[in-house]
Structure 1
Amino acid sequence: MFSEIFLNLLLALIFGATIGLERESTKQGESRVGSVGGIRTYALISLTGALAGIFFIHDIHSVALFIVGGFLLLLISYYTIEAISTRAFGITSELSAFLTFFIGLLLMMEIIPLPVTVAIFVILVFITSLKARTTKLVAGISRNEVQSFISYAIIALVALPVLPDYSYKLKDLPFLAEMLQGFNVELGQFDTLDLINPRKIWMIVVLITGIDVFGYILSKMVGDKSGFALTSFMAGFVSSTSTTQSLALRSNKTKYINHLVGAAVLANLASFLQIFLLVGPLNGKWLISIGPSILLMILAAGLISFYFFRMKEPDEPESSEPKKEASIFSLMPALKFAGLLIIIKIVTKICLILFGQAGFVVSSVIASFAGIDAIIVTLADMAGPTITFKFAFLTFILINATNLLSKSVYSYIQGNKQFALKF
């Protein structure tokens, strides 16, 4: 018991001192007015929280509440006096102090797992260390950018949650059934054909526009090259097809084509890595058989991406004319792409209904124009019991080749021609 208390006290001191070190380094070269303190202050704050935790776990609640109440009163008084005297109403330092106290309390009471407490500590240090970058980022934000962020928030946070997560079928559209019957067309087995899932389709729109938005934010913080590389890699785990489409659209607005091609290849590398996550839990034996091919695809994608990132970009000539502010993202191309996916998926379902098992390869190839995740999961389920590993592997190679070809076609239609040819 004593050893656990001592260890938690030591952790509280280390965490508090680390937070104080970050706060003190942030204030270097700035006015120290409004700063709660440095290494010693935050170490003591965390230690105070840990002491309150000791009294709580030993059921001495009156003393524990006195410590907590006293700390909060001291913190509120400090903020009030500083706000009145300096007319500065920011509360970052005060919130950091409160969370430091809270971390010390959590370490001692152990009401949540230690890794969660450590995660809170790491997030706190990370957020407080972003001041210089966020200040620079906010200073360069225009009204047009703010409007774009608000528009994306409406698309992602307002529209998406209210859309039904339901796959509508032909039988759910009675007016269509009546119209077809008027032409003596019987629905038959097409009655249960899935047409559209509004939420899933809108998710594609959110993803395509989101890549532009988050890529823009990261590019402001770490530069165009690194920003879109990071965003594209993460988005590739969700949909490399949508990511490539978004980068192709962006290629119309910049001359930095090589960097965008590198980011697109990086997104596809992420999709290759995702195959391990999709197939592994479902069919380990088939994963072993296709593993070498996937590793070769990952290696090739990594080398190609590195090559394009290393290529020099043309210098854009300076223009004396003022640049017009362009929107951060474009909604209409994303809607067109979502509509194309709907058509492809409907055609795929029709092929399955008409041709059954004989049309499996045909339907898989058609479906790969929209994405390969669902097909890979299907192959993993069928490889072994229903189809041979060899047939599943050949289908796997075919759908990947078709998917890459479809991305090139999408890029050529809606993106810069150089981007499409290099990709």
Structure 2
Amino acid sequence: MSQTEILARLAVALGIGLLVGLERGWRTREEEDHQRAAGLRTFALAGLTGGVAGALSVSAGPLVLGLVFLGFSGAFTAFHWLEAKAEGNFSATSLVAGLLTFLLGAYAATGEVQIAAAGGVATTILLALREQLHGLVRGLTWPEIKAVLVLLAMSCVLLPILPDRPVDPWQTLNPWQLWLFAILIAGISFGGYVAIRLFGDRLGVILASLAGGLSSSTATTMALARMAGTHPQSWSILVAGMLSAGTIMVLRVGLIAALLNPALLASLVLPVLAAAVVQAVGAGVLAIRRVDQAAPKLELSNPLELGSALKLAAFMAVVLVAGKLLQQAYGGAGVMMLAAVSGLADVDAVTVSIARMSLADLGPGSAALAIGLAVVVNALAKVGMAASAGGWRCALPFGAISLLAMTAGGVAGYLASLY
């Protein structure tokens, strides 16, 4: 290792210490120098000390780094304990920050410069956000904490142990992919919950609708239609939310299909964009022209909606198997039957199924037509939901704009098929 490289690594170690020390020094800036054990200079020297120890360990062995760290941690802990005893403040944050600064400096000196620098920045951010993080913890409820833990368990404990291969006789069901689908739905539901908590009911309706459109626009439409039934004076903002979810749904369907089979992109891009633009414009007009309208008070009960996520994943599994069987028995006609029936509930499962079939057994044109049929049937089903749960005052504008969007998508798809 050349001297230039050693100096560069030590400079990074010193920079990490200066960065952490800047935050620590600023927080205790009102205190006299002799009243605090560690400030800007101390943390800078801690980072540099770690850098020197790390550089020495490269040539002399890791034992040097271990011995220096033991000596540093003992001295730093002793001074911090004396300060805490004198002031009656027994926070361990500065102590942990000092030890971490030393270790990050050593890590930089051993060659992991980028990771050490990123760790220094992350450490400083965590220290600087003390008030915000404490406020966040005070504002959390136990159901919210439990939702995060369940989501982490689904992602980090269960997902890695599931087989990432088909396990059924039809070679269709992949447990890993189905569980990942459930995780995404649950995570998006939690994101909508957080949006309402952070941004309030009015803006929260739109944000939650956009998030809901990423998971299930059908479920989102039903939820908003029920709100319209109990809050008829707020029909405009709620219909805007339904259309926002529909916009995201159309874009999501096109994206999923194109990712699974890029050959579908040419057939889907124009109808998807046309339908999405019409719904987005309709949502914007309804949201803006009635800004004086009262937003409903939303009830926030279940942050995760895990049951809905698992049911939708199970439905996706059923559709995948049904699609395979119908395609084998009836060919293209069976796929159209599947698209129409599945679209009554949701379009994600049938989109995945048809896009996967188009890789081998189904042409891109037929696949795009089947996906479009599922979207149209789903739109009609959602209009029926809006009428039954929200009344005709909600269903008429929603149905009119949805019909216009589907018509625009159909015309665009027909024009695309001519070229």
TM-score where L is the length of structure 1: 0.65
Q: Name the structure 2 match of 1:175.
A: none
Superimposed CA distance per residue, residues 319-350 of structure 1 (whole angstroms, 9 cap, x where no aligned partner): xxxx9x97455969849965994898487677
Q: Name the structure 2 match of 1:312.
A: 291
Aligned partner letter, 1:286: L
Q: Distance in 1 between matches of 2:342 and 2:334?
A: 12
Q: What SS is found at the alignment partner of 1:58? A: helix
CA contact (8 A) 1:152 1:210 kept: no
| Correspondence 1:6-405 to 2 at 5 A | 6-24=7-25, 37-111=38-112, 114=114, 116-140=115-139, 145-146=141-142, 148-149=143-144, 152=147, 156=151, 204=182, 214-217=191-194, 219-221=196-198, 223=200, 237=214, 239-241=216-218, 274=252, 278-280=256-258, 282-297=260-275, 299=277, 303=281, 310=288, 312=291, 314-315=293-294, 327=301, 329=303, 334=308, 341=315, 345=319, 355-383=330-358, 386-405=361-380
CA contact (8 A) 1:257 1:418 kept: yes
| Post-superposition offset of 1:24 | 4.8
Change beyond 3 A, Cα 1:335–1:253:
farther
Q: What SS is found at the alignment partner of 1:5? A: helix
More divergent stretch after superposition (258-267 vs 366-375): 258-267
Aligned partner letter, 1:364: A
Larger helix percent: 2
Superimposed CA distance per residue, residues 189-229 of structure 1 (whole angstroms, 9 cap, x where no aligned partner): xx98999x89958975x777765655454555555566676
The root-mean-square deviation of aligned C-alpha atoms, in Å, is 5.3
Q: Distance in 1 between matches of 2:190 and 2:68?
A: 45
CA contact (8 A) 1:349 1:363 kept: no
Change beyond 3 A, Cα 1:138–1:241:
same
CA contact (8 A) 1:9 1:47 kept: yes
Change beyond 3 A, Cα 1:107–1:150:
closer
Change beyond 3 A, Cα 1:371–1:64:
same
More divergent stretch after superposition (13-22 vs 43-52): 13-22
Q: Name the structure 1 match of 2:403.
A: none
Q: Distance in 2 between matches of 1:55 and 1:289?
A: 62
Q: Distance in 2 between matches of 1:217 and 1:51?
A: 45
Superimposed CA distance per residue, residues 30-73 of structure 1 (whole angstroms, 9 cap, x where no aligned partner): 99999875544443333332222211222354543333223322
Superimposed CA distance per residue, residues 388-410 of structure 1 (whole angstroms, 9 cap, x where no aligned partner): 43333222322233334445555
| Post-superposition offset of 1:158 | 6.8
Change beyond 3 A, Cα 1:256–1:337:
farther
Q: Distance in 2 between matches of 1:63 and 1:336?
A: 53
| Post-superposition offset of 1:366 | 2.3
